[in-house]
Amino acid sequence: MTAPLRQQDPIRVDVALGERAYDIVIGRGLIGSLGARIAALKPGAKAAIVSDATVAALHLAAAGTALRDAGVETTDIVVPAGEGTKCFASFERVCDDLIKAKIERGDIVVALGGGVIGDLAGFAAAVVRRGLDYVQVPTTLLAQVDSSVGGKTAINSRHGKNLIGVFHQPILVVADTALLDTLPAREFRAGYAEVAKYGLLGDVAFFAWLEANAADVFAGGPGREFAIATSCRMKAEVVARDEREAGERALLNLGHTFGHALEASAGFSDRLLHGEAVALGMTLAFQFSARLGLLPHADSERVERHLADVGLPTHLSDVPGGCPDADALMDLMAQDKKVRRGRLTFILARGIGAAFIAPDVDPADVRSFLVEKLAERC
């Protein structure tokens, strides 16, 4: 598997959902074409751009100019940055601001930001006036390869992450890879965990390619667009087959059951970013799979080695702060969206690129595994 030389034309990935199909457009400098793309999809529509304070300072002016140059009237809605913004108060504010701006059912919401903004703005678009169209303009690697695609929108509850939301597909995703140039190194690394996830869950050749080419992805070479497009293509195919996570789409949560619990235990704070939690969760999922005899320990060690090589956390000791409690983590995992009638469901693996859905995992096995891992840390 080799990446092509950087191309001038954007890469298009189709999310095949019948009448609700849409394109993911990937390439450098695409924000300048945002207005023309939206005007072509929604002639005469107004746009509300929802962003956070950090992204707005960097990219809101360019997005607004592109829209207005195409004749699209704009309103800006800027909220604080950070995971804490995915809450009822911010959701209420965005909804009220959309109504105050007289955004009508024929208008459009533009989610300009990372996963937090995509989830929050998408959820607001899903419910204001019983449903508005929206466009995702993801500004982080994690959002470009994962959260902007597939129509999951949500806010957090005090009981856990993404527990309040709906499925609401965008009508377009514009992934301008040039926007990643302003991303802090830690945020880019966190997003890379979701890229690695696609190889780990279903494409061993892609994971091997990442092992050989991660430096080019991080440096912004041709491999960056190739990795993003490959990830988006894999997710689009899964979403087209299982839009509402009735089955196969749950595979995309590899690492998330452990990861979300760890993220919640860290208070959804900068102690542990979402992608970092996913990296740690994937390491734990492969280690747990090896413990259950599902795969060779060499596979789990290979996963841990690659994620550590790019600077992602792979041990509980990599998370700053006090040790979580195994029972507290079990309680948090019991709130996972994959729980069915109180039974834990994990995404485990029979090898790299061979993830599967494991229903009714014995909680005693999970707790024993966590106790062991926590003991290693403490």
Beta bridge partners, 74, equal 47
0.95 surpassed by pTM: no
Tokens in use for 217?
A: 């992805």
Please determine, for residue 336, whether its predicted confidence score (pLDDT) is greater than 80.
no
Please determine, for residue 162, whether its predicted confidence score (pLDDT) is greater than 60.
yes
If you write DSSP's letter for every residue of 133-190 in order, what string do you get?
EEEEEE-SHHIIIIITSS-EEEEEETTEEEEEEEE---SEEEEEGGGGGGS-HHHHHH
Classify burial at 36, counting beta carbons within 10 Å of its beta carbon; exposed 0-12, middle 13-18, buried 19 or more.
Answer: middle
Residue 206 binned pLDDT confidence (cut-offs 50, 70, 90): very high
Cα separation values, 168 from 39, 133, 148, Å:
21, 9, 11
Tens of pLDDT, residue by residue over 265-321, are 888 888 999 999 999 999 999 999 999 999 999 999 999 999 999 999 999 989 988
CA atoms of 84 and 103, how far apart (whole Å): 26
CA atoms of 116 and 363, how far apart (whole Å): 31
CATH number of 11-182: 3.40.50.1970
CA atoms of 111 and 48, how far apart (whole Å): 9
Tens of pLDDT, residue by residue over 249-263, are 999 999 999 999 999
- pLDDT on residue 6: 59
CA atoms of 239 and 227, how far apart (whole Å): 18
What fold, for 254-378?
A: Dehydroquinate synthase-like, alpha domain (1.20.1090)
Tens of pLDDT, residue by residue over 90-123, are 999 999 999 999 999 999 999 999 999 999 999 9
Cβ partners under 8 Å of residue 202, min gap 6: 234, 251, 353, 354, 355
- pLDDT on residue 378: 54
Question: Domain limits of the chain?
Answer: 11-182, 254-378
The mean pLDDT of 230-245, rounded to a whole number, is 95
Annotated catalytic residues are: 130, 152, 194, 235, 245, 249, 253, 256, 260, 274
The mean pLDDT of the chain is 94
